[in-house]
Structure 1
């Protein structure tokens, strides 16, 4: 069973009462999230939900010709697999690990049992789902009306909010695939940000050097999503306000919490985990 300090790494789990934790925690399994790992494909039958700790999961919509675009990202503020507790067994999206780290995995029957108690877990998950819908809707608006430069700024800020440091590992081709734009557009946008001293980009490693400037260059979409998320999940605002701005760290360092899960750590390799 994870200890309370380990559960603090995911803000949804951190806000559960002791009574709910006693029911849920014995079923949680800490799993490793590898870069590029596919948690599920569109149309798959879902078996688990995932509560990221220091990893980021991107949710993609895949077209018939294989092209895809990102519709939302999930990090330590949320959970992946909302379709399971919303009455469905499958989803139209693909879930892929965008940033390595860890996540707590919970079997679908356990999340559904707790959700159907109509208590605090249901309320928390519904509020999170609404925030995810807001992010998805704003992403659609941003992709339609704003420039690639602005979309890149929004994507960087959303990713940074879900990481402990200021570094990301992502190639321009991967970013272009998620934004649904041409790689050349991302190259130009990243080049502009680098010339302004906002980021440093080298061989797939992105370091954000000036976040305040990045926020000024971004469109309104990031602020809209952030405000709505903090309205629905007010504890996130408290966490952000209480967290001091420390020195840059390695955003891809594994958290040392696996030992708190008794005999249940799964070191998954690349591939589909259903």
Structure 2
């Protein structure tokens, strides 16, 4: 139970709960390991569980009727997914999967929906996170329309870096191309740009952040506004 308590508090939202609500909700939570590629929920599928990560990174992917895919946003230990559950929804229009392996807790959708009206702080925290996540999605749309691939990649790597311990991120070029909705050669070229500026180092299946400040400067306006919104509403990651 000591290990469970320690892990539980690593999720930012769960750590902010008052003890009274924590004790009421905690019995419904189940610890779970989440390998890379784990599908939390499929697109247009019923939500069975709501996930609160303690480590790792989840990717929220929009899937068209023709099967085209693009990442809409990401989340880690600062939040939860699928977000419709936070406002009483029981179906996810997005696919949610793990892009970086981790672990966390899941709670059945029925228990989540029952907990919302009975635990006002819990409900408020989920609503606040949904607002911050909406701002992230809006900036993804802005960046996809107005920024170069290398700047978008810089933003995406910064967002990943925010959600992991240390400077190494386990990522493949194929996965990055899916997340940025560009072809793999475009990812390779963008990584070469960042490597040439000594901002990152790439190895097979791994990217190391070498110069965080320089990466932020390179990303410019593509990065930072949704992170400010999170700090305003919920504090630091």
Q: What is the TM-score when the length of structure 2 is the normalising length?
A: 0.95
Tell me if the contact between 1:146 and 1:219 (Cα under 8 Å) persists in the aligned partners: no
Deviation string 1:203-258 (CA, Å, 9 cap, x unpaired) is: 12111111111111003131111111111112x2xx6xxxxxxxxxxxxxxxxxxx
1:182 matched residue in structure 2: 183
**Residue aligned with 2:141, SS:** helix
2:55 matched residue in structure 1: 54
The reply to whether residue 172 of structure 1 matches residue 173 of structure 2 is: yes
Counterpart Cα distance in 2 of 1:141 and 1:26: 41
2:140 matched residue in structure 1: 139
Tell me if the contact between 2:41 and 2:92 (Cα under 8 Å) persists in the aligned partners: no
State the shift of 1:27 in Å.
1.4
Q: Which structure exhibits the higher relative contact order, with contacts defined as CA atoms closer than 8 Å and separated by 6 or more residues?
A: 1
1:70 matched residue in structure 2: 71
Counterpart Cα distance in 2 of 1:219 and 1:212: 11
Q: What is the TM-score when the length of structure 1 is the normalising length?
A: 0.83
1:263 matched residue in structure 2: none
Counterpart Cα distance in 2 of 1:191 and 1:179: 16
Counterpart Cα distance in 2 of 1:186 and 1:157: 15
State the shift of 1:198 in Å.
1.0
Counterpart Cα distance in 1 of 2:221 and 2:93: 28
Deviation string 1:89-146 (CA, Å, 9 cap, x unpaired) is: 1121000101111011111122111211261111111111100111011111111110
Segments of 5+ residues of structure 1 without an aligned counterpart are 240-274
Q: What's the Cα RMSD here?
A: 1.4
Tell me if the contact between 2:147 and 2:222 (Cα under 8 Å) persists in the aligned partners: no
1:13 matched residue in structure 2: 14
Tell me if the contact between 1:33 and 1:101 (Cα under 8 Å) persists in the aligned partners: yes
Tell me if the contact between 2:42 and 2:96 (Cα under 8 Å) persists in the aligned partners: yes
Tell me if the contact between 2:86 and 2:130 (Cα under 8 Å) persists in the aligned partners: no
2:102 matched residue in structure 1: 101
Segments of 5+ residues of structure 2 without an aligned counterpart are none
State the shift of 1:6 in Å.
2.4
1:256 matched residue in structure 2: none
Tell me if the contact between 1:67 and 1:177 (Cα under 8 Å) persists in the aligned partners: no
Q: May I ask how many residue pairs the two structures share in their alignment?
A: 236
2:131 matched residue in structure 1: 130
Structure 1 stretches (4+) deviating beyond 3 angstroms?
1-4
Greater shift after overlay, 110-119 or 50-59? Answer: 110-119
Greater shift after overlay, 108-117 or 30-39? Answer: 108-117
Tell me if the contact between 1:56 and 1:162 (Cα under 8 Å) persists in the aligned partners: yes
